[in-house]
Structure 1
Amino acid sequence: MALAALAVAVSSTAQPAPQPRTVASGLVNPWGLAFLPDGRFLVTERPGRLRVVGADGRIGAPVEGLPPIAAGGQGGLLDVVLDSGFAQNRKLYFCFSEPGPGGTNSTALARAVLAPDARRLTQTQVIFSQQPKVASRAHFGCRIAEAPDGRLFLTLGDRFSRSEDAQRLDNHLGKVVRVDKEGKAPPDNPFANRAGALPEIWSYGHRNMQGAAIGPDGQLWTHEHGAQGGDEINIDRAGRNYGWPVITHGVNYGGAPIGAGIQAKEGMEPPLQHWTPSIAPSGMAFLTSDRYGPAWKGSLFVGSLKFGYLDRIELKDGRVVREEKLLEAGRARIRDVRQGPDGLLYVLTDEEDGRLIRLQP
């Protein structure tokens, strides 16, 4: 793998690689994964279905109570996370492509309560909608992360055709937003008091972020798709401009430069890491358990859609020092990766016969 940002070693650890064990198969383009307290799994399917998967691999009927979804292209029912107080309130959050007038759509964030029988959602409410809505089937972003203070981060794509808007603060395209659990902008958001800026914006200058996680440092980490090359990992800080489409390590499809073809500019954040050629990253999780031994604890895991592997990334002093490719033999598009309550890693494969896989030490 070429990694122009740093001289990074790609190697294997001395310990035996964990073995993939299929928990469930027959999921249709699964996208997001959450863990219910009783040992079952909550899985979204991009065509617009939410499923409960048993520990025995049985896939339940679609959960009722979802809002209308503009499924098609890259859009549909996408990420899902449980509220930090789920054991008491049974609340969850999910994001999806929300239909609008005249064939438009945008990414939206909804809150709901999962009924005790887990067969339906109640009190479903859209608490945030990306503005403006655009006639596009691409670049929805749509990863959710709950911060330690209970605020919610949501990644929002530039919708492909509106990349220049990622540099403007009067819209939500190509942004990370930060809202409370009612969908309101906290008063300490970086642009909450700036005239002409939308108060929900946390950071801007992004392309299409399909990975987000709160790191052991308590900060938001994200990754995003470049165009042809230039996939990025970023530590996403308040008010920062991450450069798209002004600076990028990628080029347009076909090889033409993007903008001025520059990779750095004052006032814009360089990526912590970038992949060229693109791996098409999706899903992102830090391993905090020691289930795989001390060498893996603290590693960052990212799925590759393009090359069909799980990337284990070792970090030291905020820098990437080593990468290891896992699950290469399966060549399956890795859509999501999460650490379960048991401390083990689980991945979803984005296929019409998609699987939920556990990495067994």
Structure 2
Amino acid sequence: MHAVSLPARRTLALVLLSLSGWVWAQNPPETALRGTKRFRKRVVTSRLAGPWEITWGPDNMLWVTERTGKRIIRVDPATGARRTAITLQDVSAPGGQDGLLGLALHPELLKGTGNDFVYAAYTSEDRAKGPDPTATGRKNRYRYLYMRVVRFTYDAARERLSNPTPLLTGLPAGDDHNAGRLKFGPDRKLYLTLGDQGHNQFGNFCLPIESQRLPTQAEVAAKDYSAYAGKTLRINLDGSIPADNPRLAGAVSHVYTYGHRNPQGLSFAPDGTLYSSEHGPKSDDEVNILKPGANYGWPHIAGFRDDKAYVYARWAQASTPCSQLQYNDFEIPESVPREPESAFREAIAEPVATLFTVPSGFNFQSPACKGFDFICWPTVGIGSLEYYESNGGGIPGWDRALLVTALKRGSLYVLPLRAGGQAVEGPIYRYFHSENRYRDVEAGPDRKTIYIATDPGGVAESLDGGVTSSMQDPGAILEFTYEGEGGTSDASETAAIRPAAGPLPATPRRAETAGAPPQFTAQQTASGKAAYQSRCAVCHGTTLTNGTYGTPLAGEYFHKKWSGKTVGALLEKSKTMPPSSPSSLSGRIYADIVAYILEANGATAGQNKLPASGPALNQMTIP
């Protein structure tokens, strides 16, 4: 998949632009308006290990999953006190988008009916299932990684979850785009989102996207769920397939909708309308209404079928063997087939809104981004969404809206809905702008209090329009209480909304420390490059500067942060990676990866190897 500069095509007839709601559904980032309502911010709790799902429970507690902490906890919203309901030892979280993810509470929990059930979706090693054929290499940490849905029983007296009962196992999981949002529907079914596994990009660019592939009846009978990637599933409470699920390509399976990229948001309205959100490639994060059996277009289409700033590049089908190609996020080799969105003629369900759409010719490599292009892209990084109604006593003006959390932009976007909830009506508003990654959102029962979970780390837009990896409220649950109209809408009294592109914050130049130049061999850089591409590229990008989660490891950003520091400091920092499994590689592999990074930043290979430890490391200075 690629967002590229294409010749501008003829503008749609002006009459289309006059249609109510459409103009707000497909606009560039600068059309989002700064919110004018006033909120009071409070940190409920912090230092959580990757809070991923927050949901209000019938016990008036916030139920939370910790992605890397592997715990389901209950948080008192008044005091921040935490109670661990269960720690799941079988959760496996080797990377940045796996671990303990979705959570759903049975609507009869604590109602005395005996249905005191809690459901969770998480990744786990399943050696009985056998290796994932796409995870090659005997030492690959994702070789036996699969998603599963498990039911637990809650004991109110002990305040503990127990009796784990697997309902559905062997679902696709990998090192990227796992999705994993889980909801309990009004039809008493479970709904689960699964991503496209990050195929066709970064370290997985030679693997085809299978969001359009539908399972056969033979695969369903064999419990081969490999075709479930890029789908939304509808599941009976015992894990079986609902008899009224849509028949697709001649088979009835768990698949409810298909054609998705990385759908991390899922929320029901009281009337049963199911809203979903998913990450776009470089533009067009999507907000959708899910309908049974519908195709949402990915990877042929990102956002609307408008041929704007996106073409589908099929790297796995290159005439040159894919293994011989170097992935590039902006330039497609001649040997790689590609197609515009208009070439895909099958019926699709288009989004109710995109965040955001830009015309062909948009510069996705603006010099203003200082090598960190991801921050300048028009996407916001939708972490989740929540349907909101004020119910007459909540936040004025938010009578019917979607609350959308932004990871990259550190904001809450409010999308007003037309009566009936089938379309966005009026401008999109931006609230609570901060240097955070907003992961999930939940409205309190008073409808005037909004709770937001934040990531413990990563990268986000800084308040001056650049990029930061220092989070303002890492791993926290924040409370925003409505106080009235007028005043700032931001979390920290910041300036008004700016365009996506902007310079990096000014950083005082560090006095360089005199020291010996780095020493490493060409063999180490070759080994380090291979290790980097298989273990690090999914977060930091294949070019060391095009990552969408980790900070750049080359170019101006890297030099400002590391020039003049010792190689030993860089090596020690590398050993904290990946965040979910620090020091999980051998010292030799970490040293080889550092050698590759050093060469990419101008250092020259020589005859002496870079040691994995020892005092010599602190005598070498990064140029």
Normalising to structure 2: TM-score of the pair?
Answer: 0.53
Provide, for residues 87-112 of structure 1, a one-character-per-residue CA deviation record: whole Å limited to 9, x for no partner: 23321111111223342323221111
Residue in 2 aligned with 1:100? 126
Provide, for residues 129-159 of structure 1, a one-character-per-residue CA deviation record: whole Å limited to 9, x for no partner: 354x45x211111111222111111111111
Within 5 A, what are the aligned runs for 1:147-162? 147-161=185-199
Given candidates 352, 359, 367, the residue that maps to 1:272 is: 352
Equivalent pair of 1:231/1:281 in contact (CA under 8 Å): yes
Partners of 1:118 and 1:180 in 2: CA distance = 28
Within 5 A, what are the aligned runs for 1:1-361? 5-7=25-27, 10-12=32-34, 16-47=37-68, 48-54=70-76, 55-60=78-83, 62-64=84-86, 66=88, 68-73=90-95, 74-88=97-111, 89-101=115-127, 102=131, 103-117=143-157, 119-131=159-171, 133=172, 136-161=174-199, 164-170=209-215, 171-191=227-247, 195=250, 197=251, 199-249=253-303, 250=310, 254-256=329-331, 259-262=338-341, 265-276=345-356, 277-289=378-390, 290-316=392-418, 318-320=422-424, 321-328=426-433, 330-343=434-447, 344-351=449-456, 353-361=474-482
Deviation at 1:75, TM superposition (A): 0.4
Partner SS for 1:164: coil
The letter of the residue matching 1:269 is: A
Partners of 1:141 and 1:335 in 2: CA distance = 12
Provide, for residues 309-356 of structure 1, a one-character-per-residue CA deviation record: whole Å limited to 9, x for no partner: 11111122532222111110x221000001223323211011153111
Answer with 1 or 2: which has the greater Rg. 2
Normalising to structure 1: TM-score of the pair?
Answer: 0.89
Partners of 2:380 and 2:427 in 1: CA distance = 16
Partners of 1:191 and 1:155 in 2: CA distance = 18
Deviation at 1:217, TM superposition (A): 3.9
The letter of the residue matching 2:39 is: P
Partners of 2:208 and 2:271 in 1: CA distance = 30
The letter of the residue matching 1:325 is: R
Q: 1:230 to 1:243 in 2, by over 3 A?
A: same
Provide, for residues 197-247 of structure 1, a one-character-per-residue CA deviation record: whole Å limited to 9, x for no partner: 351110111111100001244121101111222211111101111111111
Equivalent pair of 1:314/1:323 in contact (CA under 8 Å): yes
Partners of 2:289 and 2:208 in 1: CA distance = 21
Deviation at 1:20, TM superposition (A): 1.9
Q: 1:130 to 1:319 in 2, by over 3 A?
A: farther
Query: What is the percentage of aligned positions where both structures have the same residue?
Result: 29
Equivalent pair of 1:191/1:202 in contact (CA under 8 Å): no
How many corresponding residue pairs?
Answer: 352
Equivalent pair of 1:130/1:173 in contact (CA under 8 Å): no
Structure 2 residues without counterparts, runs of 5 or longer: 1-22, 132-142, 200-206, 216-226, 304-309, 314-327, 357-377, 458-473, 483-623
Equivalent pair of 2:56/2:442 in contact (CA under 8 Å): no
Partner SS for 1:106: strand
Partners of 2:121 and 2:208 in 1: CA distance = 21
Partners of 1:7 and 1:241 in 2: CA distance = 23
Provide, for residues 237-286 of structure 1, a one-character-per-residue CA deviation record: whole Å limited to 9, x for no partner: 01111111111255687235794131663312222222231111012111
